[in-house]
Homo-oligomer: A and B are copies of this chain.
Amino acid sequence: MRASRRPGPGAHDVTRTILRGPTIAAHEPPVEPPPAARTGRRVPARRPTMKDIARRAGVSESAVSFALNDRPGVSETTRSRVRRVADQLGWRASTAARALSGEGAATVGLVLARPASSLGIESFFLQLVSGIQEVLSERHLGLLFRVVAGAEEECAVYRRWWAEQRVDGVIVVDPRIGDPRPALLDSLGLPAVVVGGREVDREPQEPVPYPVISTVRVDDAAAMGAIVEHLAGLGHRRVVHVAGLAGLAHTTRRVASLRAGAASLGMSAVRSVTTDYSEGQGAEATRLALAGPEPPTAIIYDNDVMAVAGAGVALGMGLSVPRDLSVVAWEDSALCRATHPRLTALDRDATAFGRRAAEELVGLLGGRPARDVAQPTPELVVRDSTAPPLRG
């Protein structure tokens, strides 16, 4: 595995450019034929380095560096010539070398801490990632991706990435209640953007933001408000909220917002139950709610899969959606449009969300100070799964 690619010390190339001055320099000094041509065996292409450019352009390596990085110190003539040679050779800076000389790794990291099984059901993440990509790729930043089982492991990954100099910053998802990650990242000095972060006016115990950590907020309260208003307007008084993971900050926010909204709108009975987002627990929660004493006339699900599963359960119990039960999904997707009836859903635009987060991180890496930015409130798309309740 460890091939000895190195020439012996005696083989060191001592060719030097003698001629001076750009106009009379030898543009194409006698270059030895590429090794492939000599050996006949197919050798994978060698990547060109700045040394190659320097030789062919008849200047020093430093001049090449200045020229290619738009730094002063070379004439325009030389700069353009160097550029041309670089293009011609198909040169790209080695990120390893760049990183080593202090430029950073040109990479940002993203860790998903969810059990593998629940990953596939969350279409949200892939869309988020593709939004992130749109921004990163135009800046030629790489995305280092990792799936882990839990929070501790996630922290270990950050530590490792930092120590290995693998990333310049990270995007943190699924903020939790007593989240250890911001403090960790801050202590490492690793710039980060927390997506779906704190609600400024709702969790004031959160102290002043860390200097290198931005937050992209979503207004869960307003979103839940829209849902509650919609349901109350239809006449629903008994609502169940099949929420997501108990530890997540946005779960807490949604639960609280539901309670607050319901109170102000005079709903008699609302309650939330937490789940692991799986269709199994969604179905089970639905079954329990509908079989209970005062069954709800509407259920709000924290994701699309559970909503579909719940609607299926209702159907199986002989109920009709939306006649006997209204269903709202917190997350619009193909799923909500594909099922029958089509589900009323909250459209979050995960792609835009990812874009926003990536932009913020890019800003941070560029030296912009950390801040909180707000993401537009998601829109409730009313479809066929919500209607006035039959029995009051």
Indicate whether A96 reaches chain B with its CB closer than 8 angstroms.
yes
Contacts of A309 in B (CB 8 A): 334, 337-338
Indicate whether A84 reaches chain B with its CB closer than 8 angstroms.
no
Contact status A120-B124, CB under 8 Å = yes
Which one of B44, B45, B188, B316 contacts A44 once the chains associate, using CB atoms below 8 Å? B188
Indicate whether A90 reaches chain B with its CB closer than 8 angstroms.
yes
Task: Give the shortest distance, in Å, between A53 (CB) and chain B (any CB).
Answer: 13
Contact of A165 with B96 at beta-carbon distance under 8 Å, contacts A107-B144, A309-B338 already known:
yes
Most B-side CB within 10 Å, residue of A94, A120, A146, A316? A120
Indicate whether A278 reaches chain B with its CB closer than 8 angstroms.
yes
Contact-residue bracket for chain A: 35 or more
Which one of B93, B116, B129, B333 contacts A121 once the chains associate, using CB atoms below 8 Å? B333
Most B-side CB within 10 Å, residue of A91, A333, A366? A333
Interface mask (A151-178 → B, CB under 8 Å = 1, otherwise 0): 0000000011011111000000000000
Indicate whether A305 reaches chain B with its CB closer than 8 angstroms.
yes
Contacts of A264 in B (CB 8 A): none
Interface residues of A in 170-200 (CB under 8 A from B): 187-190
Indicate whether A123 reaches chain B with its CB closer than 8 angstroms.
yes
Indicate whether A95 reaches chain B with its CB closer than 8 angstroms.
yes
Contacts of A45 in B (CB 8 A): 187-189
Which one of B99, B133, B140, B148 contacts A147 once the chains associate, using CB atoms below 8 Å? B133
Contact status B146-A337, CB under 8 Å = no
Contact status A47-B312, CB under 8 Å = no
Contact status B130-A333, CB under 8 Å = no
Contact status B144-A95, CB under 8 Å = no
Q: Which B residue's beta carbon lies closest to that of A132?
A: B147
Contact status B91-A96, CB under 8 Å = no
Indicate whether A5 reaches chain B with its CB closer than 8 angstroms.
yes
Contacts of A137 in B (CB 8 A): 146, 148
Which one of B92, B122, B124, B283 contacts A164 once the chains associate, using CB atoms below 8 Å? B92
Indicate whether A31 reaches chain B with its CB closer than 8 angstroms.
no
Task: Give the shortest distance, in Å, between A200 (CB) and chain B (any CB).
Answer: 24
Indicate whether A249 reaches chain B with its CB closer than 8 angstroms.
no
Indicate whether A248 reaches chain B with its CB closer than 8 angstroms.
no
Contacts of A209 in B (CB 8 A): none
Interface residues of A (CB under 8 A from B): 1-2, 5, 43-45, 47, 90-97, 99-100, 102, 105, 107, 116, 119-127, 129-131, 133-134, 137, 140, 142-148, 159-160, 162-166, 187-190, 278-279, 282-283, 305, 308-309, 311-312, 315-316, 333-335, 337-340, 342, 350-351, 366-367
4 extra A-B contacts, CB within 8 A, seeds A116-B134, A312-B342:
A90-B159, A90-B163, A120-B126, A335-B335
Q: What 6 A-B pairs have minimum CB-CB distances, sorted nearest first?
A: A44-B189, A92-B163, A96-B99, A309-B338, A120-B123, A312-B340
